[in-house]
Chains A and B, each alone.
Chain A
Amino acid sequence: MAKTKTIKIKRSPGDQLVQAIIYFLVGAFALATLLPFVYIVAGSFATERELTERAFFVFPHTLSLNAYQYIFKTGDAVKGIINSVFVTTVGVTINMVLSATFAYPLSRPYFKGRTFFTNLVIITMLFTGGMVPTYMLVANLLHLKNSYWALWLPGAINPFNMLIIKNYFQGLPSELEEAARMDGCNDGQIFIRIILPLSKPVLASVALFYAVTHWNSYFNAMMYISDSSKEVIQIVLRRIIFLTSKVANESNFDWGAFGMPPQKAVKMATTVVATIPILCIYPFVQKYFTQGVMVGSVKG
């Protein structure tokens, strides 16, 4: 006992240094993920002059809501957010219904044909038709251009998410199901009354994964949606960030005392507005998603 104690005391200073370095590295990485957001949020409330004069700041000297006023007056970002909320809500509903109903039979050992249907999914994970045939199917064969169905249908089941749900269903104790069967429930009733309520954690986390995918999706919207009244927020954001001149040229807009459009601040404010909704749901589902990811290892 005494021996181990002396050893501990001996290596203590070096070990403490290592410990300090570890804390520093983790803290530095965490700060590096956070600082860009801090800069953007702070900048979105600053005046254009302060943004050009000062480098990095957390609190602007003069608080200005000009950028947000601009966003809400021009309306593009607001329209984008409303559209995105709609696309995400309906999209996640479709995702969850299809994924859960597909996962449940696959999770039952007595379901004949289970291997066949599982392989049907695994094959799509290994081999795909690729972008062009899918695009032709959606745009030319199903004529879904400029329809939100083009954003909802092609990715309606994500194999990984479906397998996460399936693994969770598989892990539920079978006694409850047997008891329900004794009481005369059929498979459909067992699914709705027993399995789904028990699976809230995994359903919440998978719904979050799907919601994030829909909210963040840019490329599909760019490919399939050209009608400007149906633009989603990511499209609007991209346009505002990368086409600076458009903001500057809006000469018919009254800038009041400032005389010019707050370009930099508008970009920042749009970024903030596009980020906030997804960050709002994050704390509510955070307790679920770590749980969900742990349960659903990638193994089928």
Chain B
Amino acid sequence: MSQKAERFVPRKKGVTLKQAYRSHKWLYIMIIPGVIYLLVFHYLPMGGLVMAFQDFSPYNGDTMLGAFFHSPFVGLAVFKKFFTGPDFIRILTNTLSISIVSLVFYFPAPILLALLLNEIKNMAFKKVTQTMVYIPHFISMVIVAALTAQLFSTTDGLVYHWLIGVFGKSHAPDIMSNPKLFVPMIVGQNMWKETGYGTIIFLAALSGVDVQLYEAAEVDGANRWQKMWHITLPAIRSTIVIMLILKVGTILNTGYEQIFLMQNSMNRTVSDVFDTYIYTKGVVNGNYSMATAAGMFKSIVCMIMVLGANKLAKLFGESGFY
């Protein structure tokens, strides 16, 4: 639609920026606040990445800004220390195990639910269940953590008491503090919270499918699975690819809020991920250089993953992310 409209706009060759400004002054004025915001809160922090190459200390200068100029450059020494240090392998393993488990279980969940919802012909039932499953998306992580505690804690958890009945007192799984159950708990919370809302984008793609396709398939004797395989899935394939690219880009991004809320002394060995490490090292302990290096590593990996996945998608004939 937009591309078509663009084609009819006469491309004046000689329009200088000055002329463009004169004829559309307001557009340029309108964009200023946003540009200032981007420069200050996104591009200026990118400049702060210089700390990763410095032995940075805020006391190296009179002001915080001065410290950037007076801290000695150490090349890649901080990165070397980070990669060879005792924490790197541990937080990488923890982060990747959460990401991979969630890629396997959490990513396909909304697709499956959307396919199920698509089969439901009773509109009232569909509408009610849809409204119900969207709700957890609007709930804060603190409340999810609170619900988890109220359901699974060993002192007054409702579900925990049921589990005692099933497994016996000594075998009931203590989800809140057993390190082995930390990853399933995190992924489970996410699935509970986001599966329903995640269906919206797939259902939107499915609503564009011509009903005649299904009718024609039925006349040809296609059964439920054949219709799903040949009509429904192709209709959402490009949406799945885009969502997968976005998901792959967040492979080192486990989100600090949720992990931070569910972290306790019992599960710390498995719950320290890049985001919590960066927060603890940088904001709490003031080891700015190390935390910045860790953040930069994460950011670069994310970028490579997104661009790589995007390229791969295009190679397979999908439209990709942009």
Contact = CB atoms under 8 A, between A and B. Distances in A.
A134 B45 contact: yes
Contact of A22 (B30, B120, B303): B120
Given A135-B282, A219-B257, A241-B146, A120 B298 contact: no
B135 A282 contact: yes
Which of B34, B40, B141 has the most chain A CB atoms inside 10 A of its CB? B34
Q: Classify chain B: how many residues form its interface, as a range.
A: 35 or more
A256 interface: no
B295 A132 contact: yes
Interface stretch (A65-73, A152-160, A196-204, A247-255): A152-160
B27 to A, nearest CB: 4
A104 interface: yes
B48 A26 contact: no
Interface string A140-169: 110000000000011011000010000000
A293 to B, nearest CB: 5
Contacts of B122: 23
A180 interface: no
A126 B288 contact: no
Nearest to A103: B34
Given A105-B30, A126-B303, A140-B58, A299 B283 contact: no
Nearest to B239: A297
B180 to A, nearest CB: 22
Nearest to A271: B146
Which of A171, A191, A218 has the most chain B CB atoms inside 10 A of its CB? A218
Interface string A63-104: 000000000000000000000000000000000011101101
Contacts of B278: 130-132
Contact of B34 (A19, A98, A109, A237): A98
Contacts of B145: 238, 241
A101 B38 CA distance: 13
Nearest to A213: B140
B162 interface: yes
Contacts of A293: 200-201, 204
Given A34-B132, A132-B295, A136-B48, A238 B9 contact: no
Contact of B140 (A29, A33, A191, A216): A216
A111 B19 CA distance: 11
B45 A234 contact: no
Interface string B63-82: 01100000000000000000
B31 interface: yes
Contacts of A238: 142, 145-146, 261
Contacts of A39: 150-151, 158
Contact of B242 (A97, A170, A271, A299): A299
B140 A157 contact: no
Interface string B122-160: 100100110111111111111101110111000010100
Contacts of B132: 30-31, 33-34
Contacts of B42: 124, 128-129
Contact of B35 (A117, A237, A268): A117
Given A135-B282, A170-B1, A129 B31 contact: no
B229 interface: no
Interface stretch (B85-93, B99-107, B167-175, B216-224): B216-224
Given A7-B221, A122-B322, A129-B47, A113 B142 contact: no
Given A140-B58, A234-B142, A278-B139, 5 more contacts: A33-B132, A109-B6, A120-B35, A124-B38, A298-B321
10 contacts: A26-B120, A31-B132, A101-B34, A105-B27, A117-B31, A131-B283, A191-B30, A242-B149, A264-B150, A299-B321
